[in-house]
Amino acid sequence: MEITKICCIGAGYVGGPTMAVIAQKCPHIKVTVVDLNEQRIKDWNDPNTDNIPIYEPGLSEIVAEARGRNLFFSTEVDKAIDEAQVIFISVNTPTKTYGKGKGMAADLKYIELCARQIAKVAKQNKIVVEKSTLPVRTAEAIKSILDNTGNGVQFQILSNPEFLAEGTAVKDLLNPDRILIGGDTTSEGETAINALVDVYANWVDKDKILTTNVWSSELSKLTANAFLAQRISSINAMSELCEKTGADVNEVAKAIGMDSRIGPKFLKASVGFGGSCFQKDILNLVYIAKSYGLNEVADYWEQVIIMNDHQKRRFSNKIVQTLYNTVAGKKIAFLGWAFKKDTNDTRESAAIYVADDLINEQAQISVYDPKVSRAKMLSDLDYLETRTSGENNSSLATFDSAYDACKGAHAIAILTEWDEFTTYDWQKIYDSMHKPAFLFDGRNILDAKELESIGFIYKGIGS
């Protein structure tokens, strides 16, 4: 079976970049990305590809190459479903905010809506691919909906989780560690798996394409994110102990990272992890474990989230305590709002929660981030529903340069590890601040000795 037409439902952080790369590498395949959000589709179709809604290094160039040739962005969902042989589902699966599983389980209402729409529209056999991060056995629910349409169409459900790191998504897509495809072990399932394998094989070595049953594929995504987040929470737990004992967490991380059994990755102490996946997926894993009565398993993974939340609170508390136990009326400059560098994604960013804590203490927050808009920052604070929109608006100032954001500040907090922060004239920034001038390096990216020689009172994580 040769694939020539692909549809992706969902033009977000997964669907947009993934389909752009597939289109670039498979010019013989028509790739249509559909979304009901008209503004999002309009932004993807902006003639200036630098204005597309997702910032990832290299993405605008790929979109510019493929868009209009074999990559299309549209709101005509039914038409794209009808034409496609393969339909990727890449819609949002947020944590539930209501009902059973509130605060832990994944909200699958958008997944179900997609399945019902596919069932209603499809007139020929289709391969439906789970691309969103989903709980194990979600494919069973999708298949139940699709197989009970009564119109005789045959569907094969595949799980093809993404393992992208935001900020390096294009690099990860072009040269992945692995591509994972799960499906039924029937002959029809094997045919569908092989058809998707052949798509990726246009640029990925086949020895990097793993095939499993659908349940293993679904659970592998949650497990991968849980393991990565666990390492971050583990080193952050040690950072607090380092601060109490006089050890340096950077030296500890280097020492244990040289152990080949452990390795150096994800051992960078920080103010905490964020993003759309880690917290959501671990909470989902906790909920699944509890639903099977595996309470000890659930407690183990929930502690990863508890530690991460503690690290954020600890950082904001350190700022208040260091500034003589009051930040009321003081200007605190934030460098960075995105949850990590090289992305404009702010979901679960530590900056949101640290800002919320400090505004509660009546601090004035000034922010510079090279890719995040003021509107998005205010939206993030409003979502917490801690105070009114007007109060957030008056407590948050935003600037187009770090130098302006830091002018007249009592303290600076590094919340995102943007590379440009390491290139600044820190003497100039110090001279523009209130004295004593404090710098809280929530990402441990700056040279403590250099900053202290200028005159800063430097506070890193775990040292």
Are residues 191 and 2 in contact, defined by beta-carbon separation less than 8 angstroms? no
Whole-number Cα distances in Å, 197 to 3, 88, 160, 190, 210: 10, 14, 10, 10, 9
Omega cis (within 30) before 436: yes
> At residue 446, what is the residue type?
L
According to DSSP, the residues that pair with 412 across neighbouring strands are 333, 439
Residues contacting residue 61 through CB under 8 Å, at least 6 positions apart: 49
CA nearest neighbour of 442 among 325, 276, 222, 274: 274
Q: Is 406 a catalytic residue?
A: no
According to DSSP, the residues that pair with 28 across neighbouring strands are none
Length of the chain: 463
Burial, 210: exposed, middle or buried (Cβ in 10 Å; 0-12, 13-18, 19+)?
Answer: middle
Whole-number Cα distances in Å, 51 to 153, 158, 241, 437: 40, 33, 44, 37
Cα distance between residue 422 and residue 436, in whole Å: 21
Beta strands 5-9 and 30-34: pairing type?
parallel
Active site residue: 8, 26, 242, 277, which one?
A: 277
Are residues 283 and 104 in contact, defined by beta-carbon separation less than 8 angstroms? yes
Written as one string, the DSSP assignment of 216-276 is HHHHHHHHHHHHHHHHHHHHHHHHHHHHHHT--HHHHHHHHHTSTTT-STT----S---SS
Q: Which residues are catalytic?
A: 277
